[in-house]
Amino acid sequence: MLHTSLAASVRWFLVVLGGLAVALPAQAAIPIQHWTHASGARVYLVASPAIPMLDVQIDMDGGSLRDPPSRAGLASATASLMSAGVAAHQGQPALDENQLSEAWVDLGAQMGAQAGGDRLSVSLRSLTEPDLLEGAVALAARQLAAPAWPDAIWQRERQRWLASMKEAETRPGTHAGRAFSQAVYRDHPYGREVTATTVGTITVDHMRAFYRRHAAACRAQVSLVGAIDRATAERIVDRFMAALATNGCEPLSRVTPVVPLAQAVERRLPFDAAQAQVLVGQPGHRRNDPDFFPLFVGNYILGGGGFVSRLTTEVREKRGLSYSAYSYFSPGLHGGTFQVGLTTRPDQAEQALGVAREVVKRFVDEGPTDAELQAAKDYLVNGFALRIDSNRKLLDNVANIAWNGLPLDYLDTWTARVQSVTVADIRRAFARVLQPDRMVTVVVGGAR
C-alpha cells in the first residue's frame, strides 16, 4: 500500500489532471474508435495521450424508468450502495465499506455509480502508470462482480434519504417540480415519483435482483477516454465484461415514447413562501431527434442564453417581474421535456406567467431574428472548445454518442451543424415539437 500522504497526493494529482485541457484543439478531428465486444457490449475509445490518466464509463439499461412503480427509487438505491463494500469472490476476501474506500485511496483512483432516468452508470478514473492502472482495473472488476449490498449500510442510507426528502418538502420548488413531472409524463416511467413509501419498500434483495437483471454485459455501452491504446482498452473491457457476465442477459420490456399532451393542464398549489414558483412546459423530444440542432440553437435564443435570452429580456429587463427566466429541453432516450421556469412575488405570478406564455407563443410562431440567430451561433461555436476541454467532459460526450446512437463524427461536425441552422429551421422545428396551447402550467405559492 502507498503511504497515506503519498496516496493523498496521488488522489489530488488525479483530480487536478481531470480538470486539465485535453490535447484536442476545438477544430481538430476527435477520432472515436468503436467495436463490439464478444459479450455484445459496444465499446467507444478516444485515445488522448497528453495526460497520463484514464476515464471509463459503463452505461447499462438500468435507469429509474426501470423501477417497479411500487419501488420507485430502486435504481438510485442500487447505484448508491455499489460503493458500500464487496463480497468475497473467486478466492479474494470481502471488503467492507471502509476497507473498499481505503483501497481506492491507496490507488489514488476513483470509482462511482449513479442512476439517471435512462441508465445506470459506473465510472472509473485512474492514472495510467501501469501498476496503478492494473490495481484500479482489478479492484473495479471486483466491485462490478460482487457488490456486497450490506443491509446495515442500506438502513443508514435510507434514513438519510428519507430525512433529505422530508427537508425538501419545505421548499416550493419541490412541489412545483413534482406537479410538473406528473402532469407532463402522466403514467410514463419517466414520471414515477420517489416517496417515503416506495423507498421504505426497497430491500437489499431487491437491489441484488435489479443489478443482476440490468447490469448486463450484452447491453452495456463502454466509453473510454485517456492515455491508452486499443489493445489496453480491449484488455480492460475484457475484465469488466467478465465481471458482469454472471448477470445474464434477460430481455427487457420495451419502453414506449412519451406521449404528447391532448390538452392544456393547470396546477395551482398554495404554499406560504416569499416567492412563487412558475413552471410551464410539455413533453419535448428524444435526444436523437433529427431537429436537435435547430431546437438547441433556438432554445439558446428563447431562454437558454441567460441574460441575453428573450425570456429574461421580457420578464426581467423590461418588466422587473423576476430576477431571471429560463427555458430548456431535457431530451432522453424515449422522450423528454420542454420547460420554462421563473420565480416571482406571489402577487405578480399571473402577470409573469402571461408574459412568459406570450414570449413562447411568439417565438414558436415567428422564430428568431437574423441578428439573434447570428449572435447565438457566434457564442455557441466560440464556446465549443469548453465542452470538450477535459477528459471528463470528453467522456461525457462520447458516452452520450454511444447511448443515443449518434454518429461517430458528431463532435467533428458539431460546429458545422450549429452554423448551418437557419431561421426557417428553428421555426419549423419549434412548430413541430411545441404546442403553446397544450402546455402544463404549475404555479406554487401564487396569490390566493
Q: Which domains does the chain have, with CATH numbers?
A: 4-23+30-247 (3.30.830.10), 265-444 (3.30.830.10)
148-189 pLDDT, tens digit each: 999 999 999 999 999 999 999 999 999 999 999 999 999 999
User: What are 384-435's pLDDT values in tens digits?
Assistant: 999 999 999 999 999 999 999 999 999 999 999 999 999 999 999 999 999 9
Cα–Cα distance, 178 to 260 (Å, whole number): 18
Q: In this structure, what C-alpha cell is assigned to residue 300?
A: 439558446
List C-alpha distances in Å: 85 to 1, 397, 436.
19, 30, 50
Residue with cell 485517456: 226
* Cβ-based burial of 123 (10 A; exposed 0-12, middle 13-18, buried ≥19): buried
pLDDT at position 50 is 87
Cα–Cα distance for residue pair 297/425, rounded to 1 Å = 10
List of residues 6+ apart from 333 with CB closer than 8 A: 118, 255, 286, 287, 403, 404
Alpha-carbon distances of 50 from 23, 54, 227, 394, 406, rounded to whole Å: 6, 11, 7, 14, 26
Which residue is associated with the grid cell 497515506? 4
Q: How far is CA 41 from CA 44, 62, 113, 241, in A?
A: 10, 15, 18, 8
pLDDT of residue 103: 98
Q: What's the pTM? A: 0.92
- Residue 39 DSSP label: T
Q: What is the C-alpha separation between 177 and 442, in angstroms, rounded? A: 9
Q: Is 368 helix (H, G, I), strand (E, B) or coil?
A: coil
pLDDT in 10s for each residue of the chain, 448 residues: 444 444 444 454 454 455 554 544 444 689 999 999 999 999 999 999 989 999 999 999 999 999 999 999 999 999 999 999 999 999 999 999 999 999 999 999 999 999 999 999 999 999 999 999 999 999 999 999 999 999 999 999 999 999 999 999 999 999 999 999 999 999 999 999 999 999 999 999 999 999 999 999 999 999 999 999 999 999 999 999 999 998 989 999 999 999 999 999 999 999 999 999 999 999 999 999 999 999 999 999 999 999 999 999 999 999 999 999 999 999 999 999 999 999 999 999 999 999 999 999 999 999 999 999 999 999 999 999 999 999 999 999 999 999 999 999 999 999 999 999 999 999 999 999 999 999 999 999 976 6
**Interacting residues of 257 by C-beta distance below 8 A, sequence separation 6+:** 286, 334, 335
The DSSP H or E segment spanning 157 is helix 151-168
How confident is the model at residue 179, as a pLDDT?
98
The residue to which cell 398554495 is assigned: 270
- Shortest CA distance to 86 belongs to which of 145, 45, 43, 27? 145
C-alpha cell at 260: 404528447
Which residues, other chains included, contact 183 with Cβ-Cβ below 8 Å and sequence gap of 6+? 265, 267, 440, 442
Tell me how far CA of residue 17 lies from CA of 9, 11, 54, 319, in angstroms: 12, 10, 10, 45
Helices 391-404 and 4-18: angle between axes, nearest 10 degrees: 60
Within its chain, how far is the Cα of 443 from the centroid?
26
DSSP state of 227: S
3-state DSSP of 282-303: EECCECCCCCHHHHHHHHHHHH
Q: Which long-range contacts (CB under 8 A, 24 or more apart) does 374-379 make?
A: 375/308, 376/297, 376/300, 376/301, 376/305, 377/297, 377/418, 377/419, 377/421, 379/300, 379/305
Outline where DSSP puts E strands in 20-163: 33-36, 42-47, 53-60, 85-86, 95-96, 110-115, 120-127
Residues 59/244, Cβ–Cβ less than 8 Å: no
Q: What per-residue string of b and e applies to 405-416 under the rule 16 or more CB within 10 Å gives b? A: ebeeebbeebbe
Q: Which of 415, 423, 386 is nearest to 21 (CA)?
A: 386
pLDDT computed for residue 14 by the predictor:
53
Query: Quick one: pLDDT at residue 1?
Result: 41
Q: Which of 237, 294, 259 is nearest to 429 (CA)?
A: 294
